[in-house]
Structure 1
């Protein structure tokens, strides 16, 4: 798709041409079959831990948005998949250039042509977003969308790092819980219920 055709599809909210750029969801989930996955959130508290080696030991390391990595000891150093709901500054684009890109946000106007044409690109379907939003009664975070999506795969395990549901705020911004449109209590309850019925999923403290 040319840059002009992409811009028109994005501006006019033509979902079909944009979805045609994505690998099918089934194919994305199949890539996880039998694999150990580390999903790294952006909680500030993660910077005080020594989880880096455990993160890098996973078969697939997934990070979110700007994917801050203050130190290898706490955050590890690999990024295999990058889940996005926002654009990236140039420095972060260069640092995370090799990662497979997953666009999770329903706001397609923020999706760039370069990301959409990157190798292995995945576009999260709008109905999936709407279903999860209805279930928790609020717009879901990128992290929650990923957890719900990954749980549908035949992965071996999913380890969550840097997920304290905004208790320690975020390394990637300075907003308080009241300044973001998410319901973190509902998200914490959703994840707790999911872990209770799916022993593959664990959360590191």
Structure 2
């Protein structure tokens, strides 16, 4: 699909066409199987900890949205996958340097061409989003969707860092 067709599919909410840009979910889940995964949230409290080396030792490091990394001792330095629900500016994308981008938001109109055309791009199915929303009784966060996805994969371990459920606010937003 070229950029013009992408823009048309996005504007017209043609989910089937957009899903053709994505690696299949089964491939993503297979990439997680048997691996230790560090999932990094954006809680401000993480900056006060020293988890960086443990994060970087994981087989796979997944960060969320703008992926603030104020210091390697607290946040580590690796990002293998980046899970987005927001558009990411080019300088942030270059700073983070993920090998794979996952678009988790149901808001397809926020999805940009550079993200959708990136190698290994994954588009989280709307059906999965809706099923989790219905189970939770509320719209799931990007972190909740990642946890749900990871737990369906057969991974060896999942360790959460930077998740305190907004007790310390966020390093990347106003919440």
TMscore range, shorter length:
over 0.9
Give matches, 1:1-205, under 5 Å: 1-175=1-175
Count of matched residue positions in the alignment of Structure 1 and Structure 2: 175
Distance (whole Å) between structure 1 residues aligned to residue 138 and residue 69 of structure 2: 28
* Larger RCO (alpha carbons 8 Å, 6+ apart): 2
Could you list the structure 1 runs, at least 4 aligned residues long, displaced by more than 3 angstroms after superposition: none
Distance (whole Å) between structure 2 residues aligned to residue 135 and residue 34 of structure 1: 26
Gaps of at least 5 residues in structure 2 are none
SS of the residue aligned with 2:68? Answer: coil
Gaps of at least 5 residues in structure 1 are 176-205
Distance (whole Å) between structure 1 residues aligned to residue 99 and residue 64 of structure 2: 11
Deviations 1:37-79 (CA, angstroms, capped at 9, x unpaired): 0000000000000000000000000000000001000000000
- Offset of 1:98 from its aligned partner? 3.7
SS of the residue aligned with 2:4? Answer: helix
